[in-house]
Each structure stands twice: as structure tokens, then as C-alpha cells.
């Protein structure tokens, strides 16, 4: 049974550490001392009153050095912001893995204590996104945009599938149309209000799907206008990088958060974006493998930047490709190297959002990177 620190055996000024297991309706809090002994624990509702009680509970137990919160990007987002505003140092705690749970069991008190112990040991923790500025607005808009694009794509796919299987008169009417012209024609069509035969129902469904497609297009355009205004306000320097548009910049800013200073180095940002090769050496064989972790949206954004620079034959990219091909690297490996170089450029822009002349270091002067995998992202 874990030791319990009491007022009699705990020094007055010993710093304490807290851990919070977060859920939709409740948060469980555990406080431990510097030796890992339990001091106090309690459950709170995820309401305004419950959050206020949680803050008072922590303040009542002496100096809390740090608070580890699980799920700061979901159920723990609200309490993390409140604790930060109250002056507590907040760290995001990686959820306990399944193997550890099989060994030690699973319950809210156990998870809260484990979060506190992770903070105490300094393992499995990171500084969370603050989520209280314009970048959080970008994240919200990007989430809405992705769902709108998905709905738009589903609508046009359904239209195409329905046209393939519809009666011949329906197929003949729209066979020669495609793209925006097809959507516009279907939107303006008048299938009538009566009739239950398959041909009539197909015409009605096609019209509704076309209207849905047009509505999603208008929604995406409105979102893009908001995104551009926010990106230019938050970090106009990103837009000055070759191959970086509004949507790509919004994705990269969302990955870094409102507090990009939490990323201690360009290597940390590369790992966040999943473009830092992971050591996989053994014995006399020295190699690296592809990182499949990190923010996959950011990884995809860096990949798009590379493809755009290749398409438009950006001079530095062309020179880099020529040099690395002469060294025997495949195009796929060169692209991975370029993604790491571009991640360094993006990190510099994130740390210094002021617009200035950005000549950039010529890629051909950079030392070669060791990449020995050939698995496509």
C-alpha cells in the first residue's frame, strides 16, 4: 500500500505535485509529495463550480509545483486553461499504456496518481498547447473545413454513382456534363414534385445532392476567407515561404499552437511533424527508420510544400535534388530529407513571425541526412 504523507511527517515547505485523470463529467485529482507519497485525492465535476473547487483544493494543500493533466486536447482542455490562469504549471501527461494497466489495474484514483508520478519522474510529459488565442481559432476552422470537404466529396461521389446506375433517360440528360457545369445544371433542374418511379426519384436526389455540394463549396470559401485573415494576423512570415499557402500555414500554426515557444528546438518541431528519422541501429549496423508518429496533418502539409516546390522548379529544391541524386538517393528519400529541411524553415518562421527578407540557406550546402527507408507516407 502506498505511503501517505501527513501534516506530521511532511516538511512545511516541500513542493507537491498533482495529477488529474480527466473525463467528460468528472475529473479525479491526486496530490503527492516529492517522494511519491499520497497527500490527498478528490473528484470534481466538470462545471464552473467544480473547476473553482478544484483550484481551491490544490491551493489548500500548500505549494503545488506542477500539475499533470491527461488529455489536454480533449476532456482536459478546460481545466488546463483554468489551472494555467490560476498560476499553476501545467504539463500534459501521456495516458498510461495498456501493459502498465494490466500490471497495476485501472481506476480514476490510480490514473490520477500515475499522472502525478509521471510529472514527478519527468517522463511522458510535455508542455500543452495553451489553446487561448487566435491559433485555437485556426484549429477550429480547420476542423470545420475538413468536415465540409469530406461532405462535398461524398456528395459528388454519390452523384457520379447515381448517374451510373440511373435509368437511361437520366443518364442521357447528364452524360456529357462534368465538374461545376454538372453541379450547376443539376442545381437548376426541375424534376417536379410528383412521381415515385426510379427515374423521377433519381432526378430529385441528384438535385438535392447538387445543392448540398454547392452549399459545402460556399461554406469552404467562407472558411478560407476567415483563415486568410487569421493567418496574416498571427504569422504573415509563414506565407512568405515558397510553397506555403493559407491552408498549409493554418495547419502548421495549429500544430505548433498558440505557444510555439513550448517547442524547445527545430528538432522538437521536426519530431512533432513526424519528419525526424528515428534511430534503429543495432550492433555494427547504423541506420534510421521512418517516424510514423507526430502530427500527420503537419506532415502532410510539409509534403505538399515539397511537391509544390518541385512542380514550380524552385531553384534551391532543384539544386538539392541534383546533388542528392548524384549521391545515389532515390527521389522518395530526397523528399523525406527536404521535408526535414523545410521543417527547419517553418520552425524559424514560427519563432519569428515578423516579415523580412528571407533568402534562406542554400539546401545544397547543408550536410547530408541519413535516410535508409523506402516506405511512402
Residue pLDDT, tens place only, 274-301? 998 888 888 878 777 888 888 999 999 9
Q: Is the pLDDT of residue 131 over 90?
A: no
Share of the chain above pLDDT 70, in %: 89
Residue 7 lies in a domain: no
Radius of gyration of the chain (CA): 27
Q: Which tops the pLDDT comparison, 377 or 358?
A: 358
Instruction: Give me 312's grid cell.
Output: 514550380
Residue 377 lies in a domain: no
Number of domains in the chain: 3
Mean pLDDT within 145-154: 97
* Last residue in a domain, options 201, 234, 267: 234
The pLDDT tens digits of the residues spanning 99-124 come to 767 777 788 989 999 999 989 988 88
Residues listed for the chain: 377
Residue 5 lies in a domain: no
Q: What is the pTM of this model?
A: 0.81
Q: Is the pLDDT of residue 175 over 60?
A: yes
Q: Which tops the pLDDT comparison, 232 or 13?
A: 232
Q: Name the average pLDDT for the chain.
A: 87
Q: Is the pLDDT of residue 369 over 60?
A: no
The pLDDT tens digits of the residues spanning 15-49 come to 899 999 999 999 999 999 988 899 999 999 999 99
Q: Domain of 48: which CATH number? A: 3.30.420.40
Q: What residue numbers bound the domain in which 55 lies?
A: 16-126
The pLDDT tens digits of the residues spanning 341-360 come to 999 999 999 999 876 544 44
Residues 222 and 241 in one domain: no
**Residue 80 contacts by C-beta under 8 Å, 6 or more apart in sequence?**
69, 72, 90, 92, 128, 131
Residues 179 and 250 in one domain: no
d(CA 142, CA 138): 6
Bridge-based pairing of strands 38-45 and 26-32 is antiparallel
Q: What is the DSSP string of 287-315?
A: -EE----S-HHHHHHHHHHHHHHHHTT-H
Residue 347 lies in a domain: yes
Q: What are the distances in angstroms from CA 36 to CA 88, 95, 141, 181?
A: 19, 18, 42, 68
The pLDDT tens digits of the residues spanning 259-277 come to 999 999 999 999 999 998 8
**Interior angle at CA 254, CA 249 and CA 257, nearest 5:** 125
Of 10-19, 247-256, 265-274, which gets the smallest average pLDDT? 10-19
Query: Which of 204, 329, 192, 346 has the alpha carbon at shortest distance from 269?
Result: 346
Amino acid at each position: 500500500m502506498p505511503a501517505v504523507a501527513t501534516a506530521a511527517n511532511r516538511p512545511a515547505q516541500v513542493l507537491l505535485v498533482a495529477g488529474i485523470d480527466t473525463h467528460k463529467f468528472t475529473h479525479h485529482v491526486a496530490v503527492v509529495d516529492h517522494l511519491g507519497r499520497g497527500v490527498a485525492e478528490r473528484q470534481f465535476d466538470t462545471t464552473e463550480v467544480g473547476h473553482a473547487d478544484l483550484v481551491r483544493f490544490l491551493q489548500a494543500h500548500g505549494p503545488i509545483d506542477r500539475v499533470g493533466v491527461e488529455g489536454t486536447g480533449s476532456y482536459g482542455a478546460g481545466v488546463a486553461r483554468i489551472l494555467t490562469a490560476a498560476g499553476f504549471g501545467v504539463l500534459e501527461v501521456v495516458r498510461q499504456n495498456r501493459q502498465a494497466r494490466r500490471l497495476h489495474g485501472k481506476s480514476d484514483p490510480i490514473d490520477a496518481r500515475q499522472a502525478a508520478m509521471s510529472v514527478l519522474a519527468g517522463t511522458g510529459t510535455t508542455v500543452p498547447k495553451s489553446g487561448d488565442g487566435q491559433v485555437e481559432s485556426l484549429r477550429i476552422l480547420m476542423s470545420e473545413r475538413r468536415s465540409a470537404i469530406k461532405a462535398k466529396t461524398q456528395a459528388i461521389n454519390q452523384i457520379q454513382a447515381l448517374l451510373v446506375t440511373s435509368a437511361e433517360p437520366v443518364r442521357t440528360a447528364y452524360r456529357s456534363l462534368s465538374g461545376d457545369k454538372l453541379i450547376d445544371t443539376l442545381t437548376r433542374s426541375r424534376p417536379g414534385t410528383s412521381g415515385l418511379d426510379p427515374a423521377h426519384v433519381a432526378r430529385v436526389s441528384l438535385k438535392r445532392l447538387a445543392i448540398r455540394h454547392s452549399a459545402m463549396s460556399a461554406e469552404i470559401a467562407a472558411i478560407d476567407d476567415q483563415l486568410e485573415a487569421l493567418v496574416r494576423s498571427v504569422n504573415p512570415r509563414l506565407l512568405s515561404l515558397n510553397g506555403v499557402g493559407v491552408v498549409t500555414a493554418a495547419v502548421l500554426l495549429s500544430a505548433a499552437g498558440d505557444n510555439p515557444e513550448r517547442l524547445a528546438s527545430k528538432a522538437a518541431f521536426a519530431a512533432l511533424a513526424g519528419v525526424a528519422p528515428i534511430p534503429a541501429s543495432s550492433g555494427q549496423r547504423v541506420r534510421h527508420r521512418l517516424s510514423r508518429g507526430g502530427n500527420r496533418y503537419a506532415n502532410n502539409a510539409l509534403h505538399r510544400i515539397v511537391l509544390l516546390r518541385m512542380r514550380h522548379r524552385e531553384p534551391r529544391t532543384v539544386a538539392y535534388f541534383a546533388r542528392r541524386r548524384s549521391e545515389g538517393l532515390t527521389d522518395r528519400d530526397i523528399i523525406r530529407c527536404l521535408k526535414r529541411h523545410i521543417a527547419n524553415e517553418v520552425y524559424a518562421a514560427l519563432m519569428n513571425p515578423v516579415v523580412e527578407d528571407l533568402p534562406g540557406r542554400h539546401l545544397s550546402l547543408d550536410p547530408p541526412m541519413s535516410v535508409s527507408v523506402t516506405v511512402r507516407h
